[in-house]
Every structure is written in structure tokens, then in C-alpha cells.
């Protein structure tokens, strides 16, 4: 569909302070989609918003990129000229291809990221719930889901653990496996801290967020089963939790042996900060397991290399499924012509039958069956030729010929 478009920004071209400004939670996304629908009469739209990207996919015959950026800036109460330089736009097939790559993790900061596929699914569900997913978007999304299934089954793009955040979560999972009602504290909610939070399952664990700017922690915890604590209460936070993850920026450690207290006999400490925010001497305390970012990074190197080798195969799957989607799209574009041709021939059939009023009811029923069968046989070859022309990219020519031969446009107008 030529009217399918996309625009957005990501970690590739926008710093985190910009990405934070245009991030949408589920409720905000719904409100923004409603504005798009009301203001621009957009019938199909998909808004994907994560800590690494905010992208809008929509269907319109008009080029609305500038207007949408202005609306987004207005919704977030920031100057539009602050955003416009960071947005990239895509049209037609390039928009579809970009959505494939995003949903399959080829555009993710963590190559093959599993989380992005789930995030795209949730965004699609929201669009469907708001009646903003028409035939084009429905078909495109289900083709993408099928492609993702093939990537999982046929490639190693999602094998292993390829990010520091996911390695940290794996470590946590192993540590808390035998702890009843485990408690986890996440200190520092910058990009790395948020990545860890996205990977943690808050339904199975008791999570506490701590940040120098408490309002940010409150916002991230909103609507979730997550607690928030003050940064100046670190001693109590550390004492109350089994796992402490620190992603705090600074020039010196904020957590040392003095913060642990005498009862800290079995804890997992994960320091994701550079410079380090946990004193290295903590690893000498019995019962304390301390990991730093370099140790976690070592675990990701092998997985990343395996995933990188899978890129060509994943891109081949995308190419194949995009071709299948393109075939469907082309057939959809000629389906109105096929329907008009069927209507035109059926109109001729009914007019001819109407001329023979002396026929009995039984004879008329027989003629109905015979003439309908004839029409089906007559139309079969043009339909097959149209579909074949779609595959060759020559459908427009044949559509024009059929329109001229059967005067389909005029016949449709007269019918109305």
C-alpha cells in the first residue's frame, strides 16, 4: 500500500534525554492515537514506544510527517523544532521493511532482543482494540509474527543472552530460585537501570526502585506491583533486599561495607555502573556475591557473535515474507476490479433472463443454475490472468484493459 508510512526516532539517532521526552506509556499512546484518528482521519496506526525508540506507523494518502511531529511535540509539551531533527521517515515498502526489522530485533540495541517483539505485539493489540488496524495492518502484523516464528526456528538470532541487563537478570534468576518471596532493589533508573527493569518479572518478585530523582521512580512504578524508596534510605533498602542492582552514575562508590550492616550474610550485588558504584572490597565479605559490568559483558560476547552470524539468514526470511505480503497486497489492489467484473457479467446475465418472462418457474430455476455456472467459467481466466499480472507487477495494464472492455467504472456508477 503506497499510503503506508512510518516516522520515528531511536537510540541510533537520538540521545536518551530526547527519547525520554517522547516516550509514551500505554494510556498516553491511546490518547495520542485518538488524536491522530480525530484530527487526520487516519484509519490505521501503530505506535511503538520503548526506552530505545518511539515510532509511528500509519496509513494515509497524505504526507503528514511534519504535522504528526508537531502533534507529538504538543502532546509532550516540548518545542517541535527540538524533535524534528531526530526523526526519520519511511514510505511504502520501506516502512513495512523497517517494521519487520524492528519487530524481529535487527534494529535493537541488543541484537535479536526478544522484548521488542512482545512490545510490538502489545502496540498492535492496542491499535486493534481502538479499531485502528485495518486489513493492511492486520495482514502485515500477522506476516511479521510468522516471520518471527521462522527466525526463532530457523536461525540463532535470539540464542543465548546478548545484553548486560539480560545477563544480570539471568544471574538474579539463579540466585533467587530457592528463596521464598525474593526481594530485589534496583538503584539508579537511567537507560541501563530501565533495561534491567524491563527484563525483570515484577509479578514473581518483590521489586523496589530507588533513584536520586524520586519522581522518575514513581513514574516507572505507576500501575505496577513495584515499591519506591528514598535514595537517602540506602542502608534500609540494602538490609531489606536479597538482590541489589546498582546502575547509579557518579565518580565514587555509593555502596560499601558500611551500608550492609551485620545481618547481610547472603546477598547478590550487581554493579552495572561505570565508574563502579559498589566498593570492590564487598566481594571479600562472606556470603556476598559481587559482579561488575565487565564480568557480565564477558558473558554476552559469545552470544553476540552467534547472533551476528544469523543476520543474513534472518534478513533472507524477511525478504521472503515481504514478498509474500507484497503478493497479497497486489491481489488486494485488483480485488475491486475482479468484483466489478463479476458484477458486470452478472448484470448482463440477469438482464437476459428478465427478457424471457414466458418461462416456467422450473425452467427459470434451471437457467439460473446454468447461467451462473457459465459466468464462473467465463470469469475464471481473467481472474487468473489478473493474479499472474500482480506477480509480474503488470496488474495496472490489465486492469485498464478490463475497465475499457466492460466499461466497469461507468457500470459501477450506474449501479450506485
Question: How many CB atoms neighbour CB 363 within 10 A?
Answer: 11
Q: CA 7, CA 406: separation in Å to the nearest integer?
A: 42
Q: CA 389, CA 401: separation in Å to the nearest integer?
A: 12
Q: Shortest CA distance to 183 belongs to which of 201, 214, 208?
A: 208
Please give the C-alpha separations between residue 230 and each of 212, 217, 246, 391, in angstroms, as whole numbers: 8, 9, 14, 62
**CB 116, CB 105: distance < 8 Å:** yes
Residue 390 is a catalytic residue: no
Q: Residues 22, 46, 51, 168: which is the catalytic one?
A: 51
Question: Helix 311-354 vs helix 395-406: angle between axes, to the nearest 10 degrees?
Answer: 10
Q: Which three cell numbers stand for residue 270?
A: 550487581
Q: CA 314, CA 155: separation in Å to the nearest integer?
A: 7
Q: Shortest CA distance to 270 belongs to which of 251, 294, 243?
A: 243
Active site residues: 51
Amino acid at each position: 500500500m503506497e499510503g503506508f508510512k512510518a516516522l520515528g526516532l531511536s537510540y541510533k539517532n537520538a540521545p536518551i534525554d530526547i527519547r525520554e521526552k517522547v516516550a509514551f506509556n500505554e494510556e498516553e499512546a491511546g490518547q495520542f492515537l485518538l488524536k491522530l484518528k480525530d484530527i487526520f482521519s487516519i484509519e490505521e496506526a501503530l505506535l511503538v514506544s520503548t526506552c530505545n525508540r518511539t515510532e509511528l506507523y500509519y496509513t494515509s494518502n497524505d504526507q503528514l510527517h511534519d504535522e504528526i511531529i508537531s502533534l507529538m511535540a504538543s502532546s509532550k509539551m516540548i518545542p517541535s523544532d527540538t524533535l524534528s531533527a531526530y526523526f526519520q521517515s519511511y514510505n511504502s515498502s520501506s516502512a513495512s521493511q523497517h517494521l519487520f526489522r524492528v519487530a524481529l530485533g535487527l534494529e535493537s540495541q541488543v541484537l535479536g532482543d526478544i522484548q521488542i517483539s512482545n512490545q510490538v505485539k502489545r502496540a498492535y493489540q492496542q491499535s486493534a482494540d481502538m479499531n485502528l488496524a485495518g486489513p493492511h495492518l492486520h495482514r502485515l502484523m500477522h506476516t511479521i509474527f510468522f516471520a518471527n516464528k521462522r527466525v526463532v526456528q530457523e536461525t540463532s538470532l535470539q540464542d543465548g543472552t546478548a545484553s548486560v541487563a539480560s545477563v544480570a537478570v539471568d544471574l538474579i534468576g539463579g540466585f533467587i530460585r530457592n528463596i521464598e518471596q525474593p526481594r530485589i532493589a534496583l538503584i539508579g533508573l537511567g537507560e541501563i537501570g530501565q533495561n534491567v527493569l524491563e527484563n525483570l518479572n515484577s509479578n514473581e518478585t518483590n521489586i523496589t526502585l530507588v533513584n536520586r530523582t524520586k519522581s522518575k521512580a514513581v513514574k516507572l512504578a505507576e500501575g505496577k506491583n513495584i515499591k519506591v524508596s528514598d535514595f537517602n534510605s540506602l542502608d534500609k533498602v540494602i538490609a531489606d533486599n536479597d538482590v541489589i542492582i546498582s546502575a547509579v552514575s557518579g565518580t565514587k562508590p555509593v555502596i560499601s561495607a558500611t551500608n550492609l550492616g551485620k545481618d547481610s550474610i547472603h546477598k547478590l550485588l550487581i554493579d552495572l555502573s561505570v565508574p563502579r558504584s559498589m566498593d570492590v572490597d564487598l566481594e571479600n565479605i562472606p556470603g556476598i556475591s559481587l559482579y561488575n559490568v565487565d564480568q557480565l559483558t564477558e558473558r554476552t560476547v559469545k552470544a553476540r557473535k552467534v547472533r551476528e552470524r544469523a543476520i543474513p539468514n534472518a534478513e533472507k526470511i524477511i525478504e521472503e515474507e515481504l514478498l509474500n505480503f507484497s503478493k497479497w497486497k497486489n491481489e488486494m489492489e485488483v480485488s475491486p476490479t475482479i468484483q466489478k467484473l463479476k458484477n458486470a457479467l452478472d448484470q448482463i446475465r440477469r438482464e437476459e433472463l428478465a427478457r424471457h418472462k414466458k418461462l416456467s418457474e422450473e425452467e427459470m430455476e434451471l437457467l439460473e443454475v446454468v447461467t451462473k455456472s457459465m459466468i464462473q467459467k467465463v470469469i475464471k481466466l481473467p481472474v487468473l490472468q489478473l493474479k499472474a499480472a500482480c506477480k509480474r507487477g503488470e496488474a495496472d495494464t490489465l486492469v485498464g484493459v478490463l475497465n475499457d472492455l466492460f466499461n466497469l467504472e461507468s457500470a459501477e456508477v450506474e449501479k450506485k
